[in-house]
Amino acid sequence: MPSIDGKDIKSIVVACEAGMGSSVLLTSTLAKQLKPHGVAVTHSPVNRLTDDTADVVLCHQGLVNRARQAAPNSVVIPFQMFMGDPAFAKVTTAIADGGTLDG
């Protein structure tokens, strides 16, 4: 399973089924939070992911297998809730304070 150090994260992609709903909602929130750390946050439909898309892929639990297939070398972090899921805190903390993310 790939892993990455928080300080090496420069790009995050939020993947969802269609890439037009929940991922857009989440992207705007995360982009604001992570902008001071120089991390670009974009969004994508899960079936258009590739290994080059981003350092870290965030996606709903239900899509995690498809995301890992599409981007086997990216760290894929699943979440269950769109607002306030602990996964987001884990990612933002690793970026802000350092730490390793596995996924």
Partner 1 sequence: MAEAAPLLGPDAVRLGCTAPDRTDAVRQAGELLVGLGAVAPAYADAMQEREQSLSSFVGEGFAIPHGTDEARGWVHHAALAFLQFPEGVDWDGQDVRACVAIAASADEHVGVMSTLAQVLLDAELAEELRTTTDPDRVLQILAPAPADEDEEETT
Query: What is the nearest approach in angstroms of partner 1 to the Cβ of residue 78?
Result: 12
Footprint (CB under 8 A) of partner 1, residues 21-60:
21-22, 24-29, 31-32, 35, 45, 47-48, 60
Are 78 and 1 spatial neighbours (Cβ–Cβ below 8 Å)?
no
CA dihedral 13, 17, 18, 19 (to 10 degrees): -10
Distance CA 39, CA 42 (A): 10
Instruction: Judge whether 16 counts as a catalytic residue.
Output: yes
Beta carbon nearer to partner 1, 20 or 89: 20
Contact pick of 14, 34, 54, 63 for partner 1 (by CB under 8 A): 63
